Amino acid sequence: MKKDIHPDYHTITVEMTDGSTFETRSTYGKEGDVLKLDIDVKTHPAWTGGQQHLRDDGQVAKFKKRFANFGLK
């Protein structure tokens, strides 16, 4: 294996949006740095099952609008 080509792998602290923290190993920053998250699994709707944004101008919406009065159910 070649020497001096791999990034430094060290311990950092990750701070979640609610203020809780945990330690992990990463190539981010330097030893002891804090990575503050803006979005995480505790708050993002993709993981929490919160309100979903539905496109009203998407292909399915256009199809439904075009064939709304067609009579098929």
Mean pLDDT across the chain, nearest whole number? 84
Pair 36, 19: CB distance under 8 Å = no
Ramachandran bin of 19, using left for φ above 0, alpha for ψ from -120 to 50, beta for the remaining angles:
left
Nearest to 22 by CA among 32, 12, 10: 12
pLDDT of residue 72: 62
Using one digit for the tens of pLDDT, what is the confidence trace for 24-47?
999 999 999 999 998 888 877 777
Pinpoint the alpha helices (H) of the chain: 45-48, 59-66
Query: At residue 17, what are phi and psi to the nearest 5 degrees?
Result: -65, -25
pTM for the full predicted model: 0.57
Classify 17 in phi/psi space as left (phi over 0), alpha (psi -120 to 50) or beta: alpha
